Structure 1
Amino acid sequence: MSEALPEYAERVLSVAELIPSGRVMTYGDVAEWLGEGGPRQVGRVMALYGGAVPWWRVVRADGVPLPGHEHRALEHYRAEGTPLRETPGRPPRLAMARARWDGSGVTDAT
């Protein structure tokens, strides 16, 4: 990570890199994991600096893919086998109960 990044941004991006393929954490989950900030702060970090990490693994709590990036995110989800809810006539969304990762198996994210 670049030394020019704010410390909080580096911590958020480090968590994003820990999320296993096929799993996701919400913006709020990341903030809770870090014990600092909130969903909006995590979302801001991801918007500004998230392009170099698996950004599609940090998501909204409702499971709707990031507006404006839906197609790219869905390509990643399908390639990684991330659980999706696909309803005829509606855009796919994440099956949060199955896709959400709680950070288990990691001793220190920062």
Structure 2
Amino acid sequence: MASDAHRRIFDVVARIPAGRVATYGQVARLAGLGGQARLVGYALHMADRPLPWHRVINARGEISTRADSYSETLQYRLLAAEGVVFDAQGRIPLERFRWHGEDAPVDPGGEGS
């Protein structure tokens, strides 16, 4: 069973539209949990429903490293399939692809969730 904080995180992540990204810190802030970016990562790892988790990246515009390299590769592929581009350093230009929390219909999972 998800906590209230996790549900708020899930609700924000579900609204990130295809082809856009949000940072862990941004999701935390939009969920009313400013300063708790790590909680976003933990919540997504324990999600009890399908979410477009691949649209959440770190503050540098990068896919966060994991012990499981398959998840990193999958995240890269899912984002690229949605039209998100990466620069030569493997970063997503946030000025172009960042979602700012504007109204978006709920995406109950997106690709690969």
TM range (shorter): 0.7 to 0.9
- Flag the 1:39–1:50 CA change in 2: closer, same or farther, 3 A: farther
| Paired residues of 2:2 and 2:48 also in contact (CA < 8 A) | no
- Counterpart of 1:78 in structure 2 is 80
* Identical counterparts, % of pairs: 32
Deviates more, 1:75-84 or 1:61-70: 61-70
* Distance in structure 2 (CA, Å) of the matches to 1:25 and 1:78: 15
By percentage of residues, which structure has more helix?
1
* Distance in structure 2 (CA, Å) of the matches to 1:12 and 1:50: 12
- Counterpart of 1:23 in structure 2 is 20
TM-score for both structures, normalised by structure 1:
0.79
For structure 1, list consecutive stretches of 5 or more residues without a partner in the other structure.
none
Structure 1 stretches of 4+ with a deviation exceeding 6 A read none
Tell which has more relative contact order, 1 or 2 (C-alpha 8 A, sep 6+): 2
TM-score for both structures, normalised by structure 2:
0.77
Q: CA RMSD in A?
A: 1.8
Correspondence for 2:100 among 73, 92, 102? 102
Give the alignment of 1:1-110 within 5 angstroms.
Answer: 4-37=1-34, 38-49=36-47, 52-67=50-65, 68=69, 69-85=71-87, 87=88, 90=89, 92-106=90-104
Q: When the two structures are aligned, how many residues end up with a matched partner?
A: 99
For structure 2, list consecutive stretches of 5 or more residues without a partner in the other structure.
105-113
* Distance in structure 2 (CA, Å) of the matches to 1:39 and 1:78: 24
* Distance in structure 1 (CA, Å) of the matches to 2:103 and 2:75: 25
